[in-house]
Chains A and B, each alone.
Chain A
């Protein structure tokens, strides 16, 4: 699989065309349903991407780490289908549609880079759709490992509530599974984070994680 970092780092060279903005932790960068103008590059911090379903339930789709883009879907000048919330104080660069369209004409090499980034977003959403075919345990294992791989770290800075939102499972189901895994010594639960102690065992549970495949 192409590491998300490899494609995203290439954006660094284009940052001078963006507008730098500071975002406080817990504040919203853009709202679902609002008309978007352009996209953001996350330079520092952490952002979560949430979507509200037709039924009105919130679902965590993705955690954006520095070096990645967010809000790229509004390059077609339609509304945002997600809400982006800064998890902690963050620095982003904003690129407007117009600016980017102009830039793309000047630098045609941006088109493949942009396409790769869109593919990455597609992969995240396809993954969320596939999640529905997995058992509850597999879903949580897949999610934890996926985040681990993104952060390149075995400490996952999420709450049980976040995991419930992310998978669409109830908080009680999430709690039961995590409790069992803690007893089995697979994970440790600390204040607002999980420590994965046996990723190998979780990985066996988790056959469908996109990172486990060579894409």
Chain B
């Protein structure tokens, strides 16, 4: 359940705001494309992803797409980045703004080329009359005409710009399977994650490299909850893990290689068929790791283990299971005597 969130669902949960996202696409007279996004990246790579979406649709180079964000003076409308929502809500808003910009551009091109709109094709950044590819008008020329406004269809507003606020009809529902193999040292309680495989379905992928990065980071964060991290308070309410020496954020050397894979089932609820992936790794990892640890210790009678399954916790859990088993064995021996 990602892509937070349909505003009316948030209303049903008594949340004070909505879950829409806003986007503006404008093509400037200097032939640059500006995308204004209300999603606010803090490491996710929105600029790259948004430029790819725009480049494909408008037939421009991604480097000609300027992505404006994270400044309320540049993008007054927005609901920001969290809950795997940027692409599934903000990206879809951009796609819809692109539709509107292209519709307007088509009308201007048809007017200038003295052709019917339905006779125009748009490919590689240029409108042309179907069947006579020489009769063409590049988008840059359309944008300049929209700017000068010297010869626009009657009643049309100048400038090539469209703003969309998109409220998703539903959450998105990404899914996946995470499988983990661990080895546990019964003497020390140390856990070695031998293999970790994550197969996630986040719908259509804009940039598989970014998707993989999100899954990697997410899995490590989930694995960190399973094996390493805990904010510990003493009885007086002092946080005893308030430095990076006490609070164990795993380093690169502490974590396994991750094998990732994906299936692609486009989301039926948005025109990009996307679902979002920022949280997927974290959701799958902790249960996969702990189920593996419990499975490895099941023959000792272990049925559960607390997170984080630190060596100390694992060792103590094994000792407790052994004690229980010994007691049982002694009792049995006593009975048979």
B is a partner of A? no
Seen from chain B, the residues whose Cβ lies within 8 Å of a Cβ on chain A are none
